[in-house]
Amino acid sequence: MRDAWFFLKLFKPYSAWLLAGVALSLLTSLAAIILLTLSGWFISASAIAGLVAIDGNALAFNFMLPAAQIRALAITRTLGRYAERLVTHEATFRVLAHIRSWFFQHTIPLLPGRLALIRSGDLLSRMTSDIDALDALYLRLVAPITVAIIGGVVVTAFLATYAPVISITNGVILLVAGLLIPWVFNQLGNEGAERITVLMANYKIRQVDTFQGFTDLVANQAYDRFSAFLSQFSDRMIHTQRQNNQLTAISSALTYLLSQVSLLLALVFAGFLFTENKLTGPEVALVVFCVLATFELVTPLPQAIQMLAKLQKSAQRIRQIVELEPSIKEPQQAVLLPKQFDLHLSDISFRYSQQQDWVLKHINLSILQGTKVAIVGASGSGKTTLLHLLMRYYDPDLGEVKLAQQSLKSYATEQLMTCFGVLSQRSQLFAATIKENLLIAKPSATTVELDAAINAAGLKKFVSSLPDGIDTWVGESGVKVSGGEARRIALARLYLKDAPILILDEPTEGLDADTEREVFNALSDFAQHKTIVMLTHRVVGLALMDNVYTMENGVLSQL
């Protein structure tokens, strides 16, 4: 419930929309109830008036007015329902669009340090399907419950003016059907619902496990066994769902029965009141039809309460991300960026968590501006972590990283980022044109500057071979770009950004020998006066370097 409340606060800017939705929805529900009530009364009154007329007395019954009212109510109900749906959904989707950008905004400070362990697919599903699931919060939960409460009170008050007994019994039964039964069955079904979530998660893990080890399973003739095991799992899942489905079926049968009990009681009471002359004939029909109609108010409630668990889950998954502390803190008062960029690491130790082993152990390293340093080591030796500390993705547990004799912690991160140009084996290309991909590095770049960058990165031939040239759409759903070309685009970005410190993380990994040579040639021209920190696990491109270090198990030593 607390999670639901948390998100309701985000709905606030849209409260006018939300209120209008509830109001329309209430109007529509009441119109439907009045329509049936009035029709019942009208028919009975007509019947009695008709009998009187046959008796020969003058016909005093004005049938035009109720007939017109019935027509008006029918139209109100139809139009009202349509308008209500439009408004409530419009309101909801406005809120969801807002929550989506709010979510994205909150992930910005968390990357890359804090979210390194969460896969992008998982993050995406939180940003799409989990946020989508929040639509139930207003549409299925808040709006129907508000309408049911207000509508229930209005109907009970209305019935009380005719027959207090019927009003009270109907009110009590409404409460039981609308609140007690959904609540009880939600409690009963809770365990099963949780079991299903757990079973589903486990099924998925095992299924992924099976696919990832598919070749091994087939080669070891073990696939059939694993597949049979998965089927058993699926059977257990379905069995639990069957039990839950049964509970839901019982709950809707009970709700239905309660509504009929209320109807039957109303009928009996109305009969007695009629014989005691406390109700006229048409009023009997009015009361009975009104009771019949009110149960439409509570029919959406069992489903609403069932939604709560799922809603809770999604809400939690969104909150988990949004409420993460960033791995680094911004300084209270940021120091301005220096004019020179000497880096000093003094006695740095780092581990990702208290439970894990030290990744970096007592590292001392000075990189003066303009020097070129290579760190050689196997994957897993800790060299990438060292880079992350240099760029302050994380803070070291012990020791300090300094830029121009000032702790990294004293610079604003956004400022600090302008000091680094990164070229790595995972050069991220965005689904956009080549030009837009380059402009990320320097939004104000002129055509001349862009051309220069393309030339320097050796992209000229590739770009001019494309029919749309620099405006060619690349990335997903665009032109396929080879690994070498992607790396060159990243290189052109590096050129445009023109940062004083270049971070090269296995810059030529996965490229063929020719491309590798060209990349290094391009780099050596453009990076002449820049600081370079290069990671590699092979002995390539070391000729450019002033100092070469090796990294092994978190310990750095000079070669």
Provide the residue type at 201 as one letter.
A
Site mask for another protein (CB under 8 A), range 67-106, x = bound = x--xx--xx-xxx-xx--xx--xx--xx-xxx-xx--xx-
Is there binding between residue 58 and another protein (CB under 8 A)? no
The DSSP letter of residue 69 is H
Is there binding between residue 260 and another protein (CB under 8 A)? yes
223 touches 142 (CB < 8 A): no
Q: CA 70 from chain center: how many Å?
A: 45
The DSSP letter of residue 328 is S
Task: Report d(CA 303, CA 290) in Å as an integer.
Answer: 24
Q: What is the DSSP string of 356-374?
A: SPPSEEEEEEEE-TT-EEE
Min. distance of Cβ 536 from another protein in angstroms?
16
Min. distance of Cβ 493 from another protein in angstroms?
7
Count of residues that interact with another protein, criterion CB under 8 A: 130
Half-sphere exposure of 104 (CA within 13 A, CB side): 7
Task: Report d(CA 359, CA 337) in Å as an integer.
Answer: 29
Q: Which of 29, 37, 39, 167 binds another protein (CB under 8 A)?
A: 39
* Cis omega (within 30 of 0) for bond into 112: yes
Question: Which stretch, 241-249, 306-314, 460-468, 526-534, contacts another protein (CB under 8 A)?
Answer: 241-249
Is there binding between residue 256 and another protein (CB under 8 A)? yes
Nearer to another protein, 196 or 311 (CB): 196
**Interactions with another protein, residue window 452-491 (CB under 8 A):** 473, 475-477
Is there binding between residue 559 and another protein (CB under 8 A)? no
Q: Which of 378, 482, 521, 546 binds another protein (CB under 8 A)?
A: 378
Angle between helix 300-322 and 223-275 (nearest 10): 130
108 token code pair = 């910005």
Site mask for another protein (CB under 8 A), range 276-295, x = bound = -----xx-xx--x-------
Q: Which of 172, 208, 336, 368 binds another protein (CB under 8 A)?
A: 208
Is there binding between residue 384 and another protein (CB under 8 A)? no
Min. distance of Cβ 2 from another protein in angstroms?
26
Provide the residue type at 160 as one letter.
A
Nearer to another protein, 105 or 316 (CB): 105
For residue 85, give every residue at least 6 positions away whose Cβ sits within 8 Å of its Cβ, in sequence order, or none.
none
Question: Could you tell me the end-to-end alpha-carbon distance of the chain, in angstroms, rounded to an integer?
Answer: 60
**Interactions with another protein, residue window 533-552 (CB under 8 A):** none
Site mask for another protein (CB under 8 A), range 123-142, x = bound = xx--xx--------------
**Interactions with another protein, residue window 140-199 (CB under 8 A):** none
Is there binding between residue 44 and another protein (CB under 8 A)? yes
Min. distance of Cβ 428 from another protein in angstroms?
4
Task: Report d(CA 497, CA 481) in Å as an integer.
Answer: 22
Parallel/antiparallel/unpaired status of strands 432-433 and 473-474? antiparallel
Question: Which stretch, 165-173, 248-256, 361-369, 540-548, contacts another protein (CB under 8 A)?
Answer: 248-256
253 token code pair = 């049968």
For residue 180, give every residue at least 6 positions away whose Cβ sits within 8 Å of its Cβ, in sequence order, or none.
none
Q: Which of 441, 489, 504, 535 binds another protein (CB under 8 A)?
A: 441
Question: Which stretch, 159-167, 244-252, 339-347, 352-360, contacts another protein (CB under 8 A)?
Answer: 244-252
The closest alpha carbon to 125, from 189, 204, 203, 213, belongs to 204
Task: Report d(CA 399, CA 520) in Å as an integer.
Answer: 33
Nearer to another protein, 204 or 460 (CB): 204
405 touches 342 (CB < 8 A): yes
Is there binding between residue 328 and another protein (CB under 8 A)? no
Indicate the SS3 state at residue 352. coil
Is there binding between residue 366 and another protein (CB under 8 A)? no
Is there binding between residue 317 and another protein (CB under 8 A)? no
Nearer to another protein, 405 or 447 (CB): 447
Min. distance of Cβ 227 from another protein in angstroms?
4
Task: Report d(CA 232, CA 480) in Å as an integer.
Answer: 42
Q: Which of 6, 14, 274, 352 binds another protein (CB under 8 A)?
A: 274
